[in-house]
């Protein structure tokens, strides 16, 4: 093995290994050469080379999303670091652990006109779990070091003592950050200043870093008996499940919720929770009620006394609007890390995982005799029948495309959803329980969806299918610019020639300004993108084309495949809004 002759570089590599960080995503550069040499020469690490730092950040996020372990990101100095910011922000809000290692020039080279140099210290301050501007070694490139007046020790022993002091401080900071990344599942950032020469290596370690371990405190325990009594006292309860990894809630906990008639469980597509008694496709339930003349009466009948939320971000705007306008008496949130006051009435945060919370809450609690859920189950089934009736009569559009695509995704394949209209259309249909679903809902941005899916494909043992809109795909086309595309990777791009979601928002108008600056009409061909990145390209512009293309689209192949589905730009919004109007006929006289 080769070790960098720069102590700080060797220390970072050594401590990453000590904390079990195996996967490292590297973007090329010179200032980060000491880190590249250290990581790539150690067989413990699995290293990936991604040129575009923005794509690299999301690729690493996809790896960590699958493994649950921190992934390291390594970049050179300057603007390279700033390109990580979208992925860092997404990781921060989605609780995905990343370890950002940025090489920097020495502090005395910042703001003096040196190339590829910016103020890197604390750049992620508002969206980072931990950050440390590490101290430059004084034992490396001694003759180049620019000391402040009176700072340099006069004797060699003093220089060694100062280096030992800096080494100890760096070890403690790096250990603290790596521990936090694991414990709190957050991104952390270490900024490491290196002076030239950068490429020196040694057959033996140049330093023996000390690992500082921190104790992980146990989860706090509520008074389960008192909590169970309060739970039973409420006769109208809603459990809202946001984004969760597959298996986030076990069968025992699901059975507890399903067996209580006083509970209505709303699940998002990204919750990866399935049960016949629950209510997926939230907007299919709430949108028609919103259009009803008796809107206030229906929502009052649905208003819960108690709201329990578990999981991460919630996609549905309808459920947010409903619970903010008709708030519960109490809002509990169960999560080991944080609780968002999404509905402005948060009363209790239980720092416990959802599965353990529900099992402990349900232990010994007998379901009551409430009839709260029963009428909503009847309405749910009526909406499902109306949905199918509507789908049978509408022309080819985004909605028809999503129905056909979701029905043909192979069981066991993982689904990665891009943001904007893609994730919202997917919410309208029931996903098969064997298909794990992921989406970058931390910041809900359109950037990085392809890169995340490619990283997830590398980190997953199963086939990954990315469903994307045309703008999301084109925005992150560099996500395909790497050598890690698996042959079974599949991309389906719903191309409605722009940001079609803006056509369903209030204030939409048919004008040149709207089409240019909101909808952003585009006609960029996708076939050349596929050709340049080695993907097999297919296209469908009708339902017949789509169904034929899907027949063998997911079958084994020598190359990854992309299917472009062209839908009518000016029809999709009318079909979607018409769907919600059509469902109003399913509303009974009373609920």
Find residue 128's DSSP bridge partners: none
- Least reliable range by pLDDT among 72-81, 153-162, 254-263, 551-560: 153-162
Residue 434 DSSP code: T
Q: What is the mean pLDDT of residues 275-292?
A: 95
pLDDT at res. 500:
60
Q: What is the mean pLDDT of residues 448-454?
A: 98
With bands split at pLDDT 50, 70 and 90, how would you rate the model's confidence at 507? low
- Minimal CA–CA distance to 336: which of 131, 130, 127, 185? 185
Same fold, 3-200 and 396-570: yes
With bands split at pLDDT 50, 70 and 90, how would you rate the model's confidence at 368? confident
CA–CA gap between residue 60 and residue 454 (Å, rounded): 10
Question: pTM here?
Answer: 0.94
pLDDT at res. 152:
79
For 393-415, what is each residue's pLDDT tens digit? 999 999 999 999 999 999 999 99
Give the DSSP letter string of 57-84: HHHHHHHHHHHSS-EEEEE-SGGGGGGG
pLDDT at res. 64:
98
Residue 53: partners with Cβ closer than 8 Å, 6 or more residues away: 27, 75, 80, 81, 83, 84
pLDDT at res. 494:
96
Q: What is the mean pLDDT of residues 324-336?
A: 97
For 17-58, what is each residue's pLDDT tens digit? 999 999 999 999 999 999 999 999 999 999 999 999 999 999
- What's the CATH number of domain 396-570, 3.40.50.970, 3.20.20.140, 3.90.1640.30, 3.40.190.290? 3.40.50.970
Using a 10 angstrom Cβ sphere, with 0-12 exposed, 13-18 middle and 19 or more buried, the burial of residue 466 is buried
pLDDT at res. 117:
83
Percentage of the chain beyond pLDDT 70 is 96
pLDDT at res. 378:
94
Q: What is the mean pLDDT of residues 305-314?
A: 97
Is the C-alpha dihedral spanning 582, 585, 590, 591 positive or negative?
A: negative
pLDDT at res. 108:
87
Q: What average pLDDT does the chain have? A: 93
97: pLDDT strictly greater than 80: yes
pLDDT at res. 250:
95
pLDDT at res. 112:
85
For 180-197, what is each residue's pLDDT tens digit? 999 999 999 999 999 999
240: pLDDT strictly greater than 90: yes
pLDDT at res. 502:
59
Q: Do the Cβ atoms of 554 and 463 come closer than 8 Å?
A: yes
- The residue among 520 and 358 whose pLDDT is bigger is 358
- The residue among 206 and 416 whose pLDDT is bigger is 416
- Least reliable range by pLDDT among 20-29, 79-88, 195-204, 518-527: 518-527
254: pLDDT strictly greater than 60: yes
With bands split at pLDDT 50, 70 and 90, how would you rate the model's confidence at 383? very high
pLDDT at res. 588:
86
Q: Do the Cβ atoms of 265 and 277 come closer than 8 Å?
A: yes
pLDDT at res. 515:
63
CATH superfamily of 224-380: TPP-binding domain (3.40.50.1220)
For 416-442, what is each residue's pLDDT tens digit? 999 989 999 999 999 999 999 999 999
123: pLDDT strictly greater than 70: yes
pLDDT at res. 214:
85
pLDDT at res. 590:
76
Q: What is the mean pLDDT of residues 344-356?
A: 96
pLDDT at res. 510:
66
Cα distances (angstroms) measured from residue 114 to each of 107, 108, 454: 11, 10, 36
330: pLDDT strictly greater than 60: yes
pLDDT at res. 228:
92
Q: Do the Cβ atoms of 571 and 565 come closer than 8 Å?
A: no
pLDDT at res. 146:
81
134: pLDDT strictly greater than 80: yes
Q: What is the mean pLDDT of residues 213-225?
A: 83
Residue 74: partners with Cβ closer than 8 Å, 6 or more residues away: 24, 25, 26, 27, 32, 35, 36, 39, 101, 103
Q: What is the mean pLDDT of residues 562-591?
A: 91
Percentage of the chain beyond pLDDT 90 is 81
Q: Do the Cβ atoms of 338 and 357 come closer than 8 Å?
A: no
For 5-15, what is each residue's pLDDT tens digit? 999 999 999 99
pLDDT at res. 589:
79
Q: Do the Cβ atoms of 98 and 61 come closer than 8 Å?
A: yes
Q: What is the mean pLDDT of residues 575-586?
A: 93
pLDDT at res. 505:
61
Instruction: Provide the token pair at 279.
Output: 């209510």
CATH class label, 3-200: alpha beta
Residue-range domain boundaries for the chain:
3-200, 224-380, 396-570
């Amino acid at each position: 093995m080769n070790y960098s002759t720069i102590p700080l570089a060797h220390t970072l590599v050594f401590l990453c290994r000590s904390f079990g960080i195996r996967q490292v995503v590297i973007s090329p550069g010179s200032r980060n050469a000491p880190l590249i040499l250290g990581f790539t020469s150690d067989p413990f690490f699995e290293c990936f080379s991604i040129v575009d730092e923005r794509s690299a950040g999301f690729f690493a996020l996809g790896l960590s999303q699958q493994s649950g372990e921190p992934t390291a990101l390594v970049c050179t100095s300057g603007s390279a670091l700033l390109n990580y910011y979208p992925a860092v922000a997404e990781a921060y809000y989605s609780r995905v652990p990343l370890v950002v290692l940025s090489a920097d020039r020495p502090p005395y080279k910042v703001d003096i006109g040196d190339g590829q140099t910016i103020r890197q210290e604390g750049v992620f301050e508002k969206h980072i779990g931990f950050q440390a501007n590490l101290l430059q070694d004084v034992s490396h490139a001694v003759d180049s070091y620019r000391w402040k007046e009176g700072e340099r020790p006069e004797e060699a022993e003093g220089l060694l003592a100062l280096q030992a002091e800096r080494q100890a401080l760096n070890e403690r900071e790096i250990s603290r950050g790596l521990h936090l990344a694991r414990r709190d599942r957050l991104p952390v950032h270490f900024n490491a200043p290196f002076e030239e020469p950068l490429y020196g290596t040694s057959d033996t370690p140049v330093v023996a870093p000390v690992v500082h371990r921190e104790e992980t405190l146990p989860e706090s325990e509520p008074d389960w008996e008192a909590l169970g009594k309060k739970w039973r006292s409420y006769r109208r309860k809603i459990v809202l499940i946001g984004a969760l990894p597959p298996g986030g809630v076990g069968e025992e906990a699901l059975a507890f919720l399903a067996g209580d008639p006083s509970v209505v469980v709303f699940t998002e597509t990204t919750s990866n929770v399935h049960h016949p008694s629950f209510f997926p496709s939230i907007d299919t339930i709430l949108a028609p009620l919103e259009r009803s003349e008796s809107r206030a009466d229906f929502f009052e009948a649905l208003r819960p006394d108690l709201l329990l939320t578990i999981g991460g971000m919630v996609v549905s705007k309808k459920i947010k609007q409903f619970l903010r306008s008709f708030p519960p008496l109490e809002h509990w949130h169960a999560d080991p890390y944080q609780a968002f006051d999404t509905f402005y009435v948060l009363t209790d945060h239980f720092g416990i995982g959802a599965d353990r919370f529900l099992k402990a809450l349900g232990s010994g609690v007998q379901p009551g005799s409430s009839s709260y859920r029963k009428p909503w189950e009847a309405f749910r089934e009526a909406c499902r029948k109306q949905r199918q009736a509507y789908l049978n009569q509408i022309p080819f559009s985004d909605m028809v495309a999503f129905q056909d695509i979701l029905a043909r995704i192979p069981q066991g394949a993982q689904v990665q959803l891009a943001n904007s209209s893609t994730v919202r259309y997917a919410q309208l249909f029931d996903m098969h329980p064997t298909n794990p679903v992921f989406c970058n809902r931390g910041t809900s941005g359109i950037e990085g969806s392809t890169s995340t899916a490619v990283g997830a494909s590398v980190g997953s043992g199963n086939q990954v299918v990315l469903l994307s809109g045309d703008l999301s795909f084109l925005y992150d086309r560099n996500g395909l610019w790497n050598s890690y595309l698996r042959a079974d990777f599949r991309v389906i791009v719903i191309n409605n020639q722009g940001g079609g979601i803006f056509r369903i928002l209030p204030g939409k108008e048919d004008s040149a300004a709207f089409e240019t600056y909101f909808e952003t009409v585009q006609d960029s061909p996708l076939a050349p993108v596929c050709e340049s990145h080695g993907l097999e390209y297919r296209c469908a512009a009708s339902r017949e084309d789509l169904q034929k293309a899907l027949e063998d689209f997911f079958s084994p192949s020598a190359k990854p495949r992309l299917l472009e589905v062209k839908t009518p730009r000016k029809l999709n919004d009318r079909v979607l809004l018409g769907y919600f109007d059509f469902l109003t006929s399913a509303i009974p006289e009373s609920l």
